[in-house]
Amino acid sequence: MEKNSTVIVVVAVALVGQGPRVLMQKRPANKAHGGLWEFPGGKVEMGETPESALVRETDEELGVALEPADLEPLSFATQALGSAGGSMVLLLYRARKWRGDPKALEPDTEVAWVDFSALLDLPMPPLDVPLAASLIRSIEGVAKAEGPS
Ligand SMILES: Nc1nc2c([nH]c(=O)n2[C@@H]2O[C@H](COP(=O)(O)OP(=O)(O)OP(=O)(O)O)[C@@H](O)[C@H]2O)c(=O)[nH]1
């Protein structure tokens, strides 16, 4: 049987604030990965670039305005979609600048600022665990490069 070669591209962003801390979003109970905490974002739609999809998703979900130039590619993770084939690729960006105070605008979602020290204790979808670890390492790398304060 011919395998499905569809690749679903999902984009997500780590909004990083002082602390450091990161904005996480709780998924609606009735959706895939319901009740788990993830990075805000969603699927890239036809005609969009990954960056324009993220600008749209963060506007819709959080009411924040991101500039594509402020999106730093950070890491990615992939997952097979099941026996029919196909896969999902999750691209994680990092942003330190945005306009607006993030709020949970979608029904049945929550947002929370999470200290990096507590991030890996959150219940997250499986793909987010290595991505969260990459995020923590990236900030530790910045702290080392900048030297003791
Ligand atoms: N946004 C986002 N989605 C993630 C993350 N980790 C992860 O496994 N996913 C999965 O990627 C998929 C993204 O779908 P979504 O439902 O958020 O996308 P969307 O906003 O375009 O939704 P829709 O298809 O319901 O309209 C979901 O299966 C979601 O569970 C993450 O950190 N952020």
Ligand 1 center from residue 88 Cα (angstroms): 10
In this predicted structure, the answer to whether residue 142 has a pLDDT above a threshold of 80 is: no
Name the residue with tokens 């997500």. 12
Q: Could you tell which of 62, 90, 135 is best to mutate to test the pocket of ligand 1, judged by most ligand atoms within 8 Å of the CB?
A: 90
Query: Would you state the pLDDT for residue 149?
Result: 56
CATH-assigned architecture of domain 4-146: Alpha-Beta Complex (3.90)
Q: Is the CB of 33 under 6 A from ligand 1?
A: yes
143 — pLDDT class (breaks 50, 70, 90): low
CA 67 vs CA 5, 8, 90, 102: distances in Å? 32, 24, 20, 15
Q: Is the CB of 39 under 6 A from ligand 1?
A: yes
pTM: 0.93
Q: Is the CB of 56 under 6 A from ligand 1?
A: no
Q: Secondary structure of the chain: what % helix, strand, coil (to 5)?
A: 25, 35, 40
Query: Would you state the pLDDT for residue 114?
Result: 98
Mean local confidence (pLDDT), 142-147: 69
In this predicted structure, the answer to whether residue 3 has a pLDDT above a threshold of 80 is: no
> Residue ranges per domain, the chain?
4-146
Mean local confidence (pLDDT), 68-78: 98
pLDDT in tens, 75-132: 999 999 988 889 999 999 999 999 999 999 999 999 999 999 999 999 999 999 999 9
Dihedral of CA 48/52/110/138: which sign? positive
Mean local confidence (pLDDT), 18-27: 97
Ligand 1 center from residue 39 Cα (angstroms): 9
The closest alpha carbon to 41, from 125, 145, 120, belongs to 125
Q: Is the CB of 90 under 6 A from ligand 1?
A: yes
Query: Would you state the pLDDT for residue 117?
Result: 95
Structure tokens at 104: 């949970």
Secondary structure element (H or E) that encloses residue 112, with its range: strand 110-115
Query: Would you state the pLDDT for residue 139?
Result: 85
Ligand 1 center from residue 33 Cα (angstroms): 8
Mean pLDDT over each residue of the chain, to the nearest integer: 94
In this predicted structure, the answer to whether residue 19 has a pLDDT above a threshold of 60 is: yes
Ligand 1 center from residue 99 Cα (angstroms): 23
